[in-house]
């Protein structure tokens, strides 16, 4: 038995499942993708913490990575390997429980040992092995624990193990996250499936977030990279939990080409229209699931900003609102404290027309024309705030720029989870 | 009796005094400054919430205000009045319980009514009346509540009421904040005394913070402004609680000239050396007291950054560390999670030499040369983290830029206080 016994319900004992959780979808399979999980032992308690993906020959790969300047050994490895292979991959190995970040040469060496061993097991060059790690920073990966499991993982590879993989990469996640979509390219059905993990250190520009998405479409590495970068902007980069980005954020997209659909080598090819939408749908579902599982989250909040000087200005305003501890704690307290939203908007440093500013909670107007709304009804507001899913809309009255961002509230749960993460 | 009965121990019932609190100092008097407090009734519970300062004729005044673009009616008033009078003031009226921010024309009108009435009571032009408000955003100031108290306040004016004033401006503060210092100008002793209130929405560039400082030195408005701006950079702008800046932040400095010291009209006058240090000392004590009373704070943390590309780069790195929810919750949990500090440093987007990075907790080296320190001792670290006052030092290894910033931890108390602020 390589595959671990039935994993615990959450990534860490003692966590309760987020009230905003969504069910893991029926993922089906992606032709050319096989998966196995195991327990390497990076956690003291009995849970799977290691995943191996094997991809068919000729699989293209693209990645986007953390902007954090400290980075990590596995992120450095992936970037270098993708540059070396020009976007091909045959395997992906992921561990939870150790980030192997800020580990200097010893960390780099551990990554190389793992890549060499996986390459030998799969029968591919080391550079064709992608790698991702999540967990405590500053601890060198004990690569022997990974190497121990490779033979068993190789034997257990199976195309149906998406949910097991999603569970094995969880850290403080309280539910596994997956999404799937279909499209057609040249009249042939293609599928996109992905998994992700959060759930703290979630912020735009890639937070501690791992996401692995695969498709059986036949796309060149250049096309894959273009599609991934564009789809990330409005999905993974439009969610924030605490504004902390991590050293290890990694989003990888693999295309096996085994669907039978024609190859596309131009990112502007009109046959990609449906695929683009399917990819965005998968990424958005995964990104939203990260927010739904934000540490301690009790509320799922969509913040829309309109009337800004530009889309990027709208986005900076939305992000400031989404990351304001005072806004987030007010939401946790089910308090329609629109004044804090106004204050956060003012703090963003972006152009606003104070006398035209409006704030809406769902269908209820809280403020308009730069002051409290004439029909403001505190009782109705309070009732609305009891919903688990909220929508806040701000118009800043200067232009046509708009943006949407998702976040969650800031609760006692966040404090409890993060006050003793390493214990 | 105009002065309110002995105020409650904290600004809001049910709060417990911060474990980091410091005693209110023996303030003495500032020649030319008189103070009175009253209960206007902006709070339901029985507490003083209104303060009047009267200043001697010829008092110079300078102010620094919030950068928040929403701002507030009292901030707008002060800026305009100071421009009009070219830096003279005869009175200051401050209320807690209502911020009068985002209140449109009605808010502006309320401010004018109060200024007119205070001016009539004191016998000065309306423009010579400074004003500051703190409390809930979006509620127009009920100016009648202020006007009601003016006669009584006027009768009660007394130079010894600094602590009463410090208590009357508290919102969620759990202890009154004051500081005093002395210097000599031209061989004559001058005094500087000030009070401030926090305690959430505290961030650089002026957060929800009110500070009022007076001196009997004889300084022109231009000198006063120069001194204030320079002293603020390393004091009020070097503390952060939650990164949220407010609509109402106001720091005012008054100079009555009643010490008998010679007038100084050039900010570069060498006779100001001692005064400059005294002013910085008062502002730093007040700013540090804000952090000590950060909402829910259990730990007082000094973060020093060295080896940065520039002082401003060091400051941005320090601020990112100070405002990282993951760092702040780890400190609350007494967890020496230096990896989160490293991650925050990397997220700041400033130049760093990853292989030279070091992190120190007090005397204990946690990381050096880009990896965990060779002698890292978790037990010693854990013991150090139990201290109420902590020092974190980061060297990023690229240059000579240095900065210091103060912050507090992020605890359940912050969530509780801010989840039901308006109730």
Contact B222, B87 (CB under 8 A): yes
Q: Tens digit of pLDDT for each residue in B288-345?
A: 999 898 888 899 999 999 999 999 999 999 999 998 888 999 999 999 889 889 989 9
Distance CA(A217)–CA(A56), nearest Å, equals: 12
Contact B298, B417 (CB under 8 A): no
Q: Say what the alpha-carbon torsion angle A37, B337, A209, A72 is, to the nearest 10 degrees.
A: -80
Of B346, B410, B418, the CB nearest to A247: B346
Average pLDDT taken over every residue of chain B: 91
pLDDT at B396 over 50: yes
Distance CA(A308)–CA(B24), nearest Å, equals: 46
Q: How many CB atoms lie within 10 A of CB A398?
A: 17
Q: Is B201 on the interface with A (CB under 8 A)?
A: yes
Q: Say if the Cβ atoms of B329 and A418 lie within 8 Å.
A: yes
Q: Is B330 on the interface with A (CB under 8 A)?
A: yes
Distance CA(B112)–CA(B401), nearest Å, equals: 46
Q: Say what the alpha-carbon torsion angle A327, A329, A331, A337 is, to the nearest 10 degrees.
A: -50
Neighboring chain B residues of A398 at a CB cutoff of 8 Å: none
pLDDT at B10 over 80: no
Q: What is the pTM of this model?
A: 0.82
Distance CA(B196)–CA(B283), nearest Å, equals: 9
Q: Say if the Cβ atoms of A69 and B346 lie within 8 Å.
A: yes
- If you count residue pairs, one on A and one on B, with CB atoms under 8 Å apart, how many are there? 209
Q: Tens digit of pLDDT for each residue in A225-261?
A: 999 999 998 898 888 876 666 788 899 999 999 999 9
CA distances from residue B41 to A420, B47, B141, B413 in whole angstroms, order as listed? 43, 8, 11, 27
Distance from CA of B82 to the nearest CA of A (A): 22
Residue A414's pLDDT is: 80
Of B332, B335, B338, the CB nearest to A138: B338
Q: Residue B334: which region, alpha, beta or left (left: phi > 0; alpha: psi -120 to 50)?
A: left
Neighboring chain B residues of A247 at a CB cutoff of 8 Å: 342-343, 346
Q: Say if the Cβ atoms of A339 and B138 lie within 8 Å.
A: yes
> How does residue A208 score in pLDDT terms, banded at 50, 70 and 90?
low
Could you report the predicted ipTM of this complex, rounded to two decimals?
0.75
Instruction: List the single residue in B with minimal CA-CA distance to A101.
Output: B339
Q: To the nearest whole percent, how much of chain A has pLDDT over 90?
A: 73
Q: How many CB atoms lie within 10 A of CB B119?
A: 17
Contact A180, A191 (CB under 8 A): yes
Best probe of the B interface among A109, A331, A334, A340, by most B CBs < 10 A, is A340
Kindly report which listed range (A206-210, A352-356, B266-270) carries the lowest average pLDDT score: A206-210
**Positive or negative torsion for Cα B262, B234, B194, B251:** positive
Residue A262's pLDDT is: 97
**B95 DSSP β-pair partners:** B50, B133
Best probe of the A interface among B326, B356, B386, by most A CBs < 10 A, is B326
Q: Say if the Cβ atoms of B347 and A69 lie within 8 Å.
A: yes
Q: What is the token pair recorded at A22?
A: 């969504």
Query: Which of helix, strand or coil describes residue A226?
Result: helix
| Mean pLDDT of all residues in B197-216 | 71
Of A325, A343, A415, the CB nearest to B246: A343
**DSSP line for B173-184:** -SS-EEEEEEEE
Distance CA(B237)–CA(B246), nearest Å, equals: 13
pLDDT at A347 over 50: yes
Q: What is the token pair recorded at A372?
A: 């409290």
Q: What is the token pair recorded at A170?
A: 């969880």
**A91 DSSP β-pair partners:** A54, A129
Average pLDDT taken over every residue of chain A: 91
> How does residue B206 score in pLDDT terms, banded at 50, 70 and 90?
very low
Distance from CA of A32 to the nearest CA of B (A): 36
- The residues of A assigned a catalytic role are 208
Residue A204's pLDDT is: 41
Distance CA(B89)–CA(B129), nearest Å, equals: 6
Angle at B86 between CA B108 and CA B57, to 5 degrees: 95
Query: Which of helix, strand or coil describes residue A414?
Result: helix
Instruction: List the single residue in B with minimal CA-CA distance to A372.
Output: B138
Instruction: List the single residue in B with minimal CA-CA distance to A366.
Output: B138
Residue B4's pLDDT is: 43
Residue A9's pLDDT is: 59
- The residues of B assigned a catalytic role are 208
Q: Say what the alpha-carbon torsion angle B301, B307, B309, B314 is, to the nearest 10 degrees.
A: 10
Residue B51: φ, ψ to 5°: -135, 135
Neighboring chain A residues of B333 at a CB cutoff of 8 Å: 418-421
Q: Which of residues 60-79 of A touch B (CB under 8 A)?
A: 67-71
Neighboring chain B residues of A339 at a CB cutoff of 8 Å: 99, 101-102, 136-138
Structural domains of chain B, with CATH: 33-292 (3.60.70.12), 300-419 (3.10.20.340)
Residues with Cβ within 8 Å of B348's Cβ and at least 6 positions away in sequence, in order, are A69, B316, B317, B319, B320, B321
Neighboring chain A residues of B326 at a CB cutoff of 8 Å: 200-201, 242, 244, 418
Residue A132's pLDDT is: 96
| Mean pLDDT of all residues in B233-239 | 87
Q: What is the token pair recorded at A132?
A: 């991702």
Of B329, B343, B367, the CB nearest to A247: B343
Distance CA(B200)–CA(B291), nearest Å, equals: 9
- Quick one: which of A304, A299, A410, A301 has its CA closest to A359? A304
Q: Tens digit of pLDDT for each residue in B108-167?
A: 999 999 999 999 999 999 999 999 999 888 889 999 999 999 999 999 999 999 999 999
Residue B421's pLDDT is: 56
| Mean pLDDT of all residues in A189-205 | 76
Residue A22's Cβ-count burial label (10 Å; 0-12, 13-18, 19+) is middle
Sheet with strand B33-38: strands edge to edge: B33-38, B50-55, B91-98, B129-136
Neighboring chain B residues of A332 at a CB cutoff of 8 Å: 415, 419
pLDDT at B179 over 70: yes
Q: Is B207 on the interface with A (CB under 8 A)?
A: no
pLDDT at B2 over 90: no
Neighboring chain B residues of A355 at a CB cutoff of 8 Å: 104
Distance from CA of A212 to the nearest CA of B (A): 22
Neighboring chain B residues of A421 at a CB cutoff of 8 Å: 330, 333, 335, 337
- Quick one: which of B19, B53, B47, B405 has its CA closest to B195? B53
> How does residue A6 score in pLDDT terms, banded at 50, 70 and 90?
very low
Q: What is the token pair recorded at A380?
A: 């109705």
Of A346, A370, A422, the CB nearest to B68: A346
Q: Tens digit of pLDDT for each residue in A66-103?
A: 888 888 999 999 999 999 999 999 999 999 999 999 89
Best probe of the B interface among A326, A361, A413, by most B CBs < 10 A, is A326
| Exposure string for B212-248, b = 16+ CB within 10 A, e = fewer | bbbbbbbbbbebbbbbbbebbebbbbbbbbbbbbbbb
Distance CA(A36)–CA(A54), nearest Å, equals: 9
Residue A215's pLDDT is: 97
Residue B67's pLDDT is: 84
Query: Which of helix, strand or coil describes residue A145?
Result: helix
Q: Tens digit of pLDDT for each residue in B63-83?
A: 999 888 888 999 999 999 999
Residue B211's pLDDT is: 92
Residue A238's pLDDT is: 86
Instruction: List the single residue in A with minimal CA-CA distance to B324.
Output: A244
Distance CA(B95)–CA(B290), nearest Å, equals: 18
């Amino acid at each position: 038995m390589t595959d671990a016994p039935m994993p615990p319900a959450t990534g860490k004992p003692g966590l309760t499942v987020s009230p905003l959780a969504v069910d893991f979808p029926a993922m089906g399979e992606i032709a050319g993708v096989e998966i196995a999980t195991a327990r390497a032992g990076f956690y003291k308690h009995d849970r799977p913490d290691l995943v191996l993906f094997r991809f068919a020959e000729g699989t293209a790969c693209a990645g986007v990575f953390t902007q954090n300047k400290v980075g990590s050994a596995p992120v450095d490895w992936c970037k270098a390997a993708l540059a070396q292979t020009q976007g091909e991959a045959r395997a992906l190995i992921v561990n939870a429980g150790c980030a192997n970040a800020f580990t200097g040469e010893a960390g780099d060496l551990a990554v190389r040992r793992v890549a060499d061993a996986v390459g030998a097991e799969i029968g591919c060059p080391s550079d064709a092995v992608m790698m991702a790690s999540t967990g405590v920073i500053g601890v060198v990966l004990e690569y022997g624990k990974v190497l121990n499991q490779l033979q068993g993982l190789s034997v257990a590879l199976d195309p149906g193990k998406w949910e097991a993989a999603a569970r094995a990469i969880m850290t403080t996640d309280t539910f596994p996250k997956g999404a799937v979509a279909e499209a057609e390219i040249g009249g042939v059905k293609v599928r996109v499936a992905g998994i992700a993990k959060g759930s703290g250190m979630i912020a735009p520009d890639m937070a501690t977030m791992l996401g692995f998405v695969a498709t059986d479409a036949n796309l060149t590495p250049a096309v894959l990279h273009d599609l991934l970068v564009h789809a990330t902007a409005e999905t993974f980069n439009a969610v924030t939990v605490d504004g902390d980005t991590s050293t290890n954020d990694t989003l990888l997209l693999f295309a096996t080409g085994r669907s039978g659909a024609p190859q596309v080598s131009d990112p502007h090819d009109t046959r990609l229209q449906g695929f683009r939408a399917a990819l965005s749908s998968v990424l958005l579902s995964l990104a939203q699931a990260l927010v739904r599982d934000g540490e301690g989250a009790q509320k799922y909040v969509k913040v829309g900003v309109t009337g800004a000087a530009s889309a990027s200005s709208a986005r900076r305003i939305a992000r400031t609102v989404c990351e304001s501890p005072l806004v987030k704690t007010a939401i946790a307290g089910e308090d329609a404290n629109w004044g804090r939203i106004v204050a956060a908007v003012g703090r963003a440093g972006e152009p606003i027309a104070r006398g035209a500013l409006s704030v809406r909670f769902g269908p209820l107007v809280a403020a308009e024309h730069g002051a409290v709304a004439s029909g403001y009804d505190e009782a109705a507001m309070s009732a609305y705030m009891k919903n688990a899913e909220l929508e806040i809309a701000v118009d800043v009255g200067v232009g046509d720029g708009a943006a949407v961002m998702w976040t969650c509230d800031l609760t006692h749960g966040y404090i409890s989870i993060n006050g003793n993460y390493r214990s």
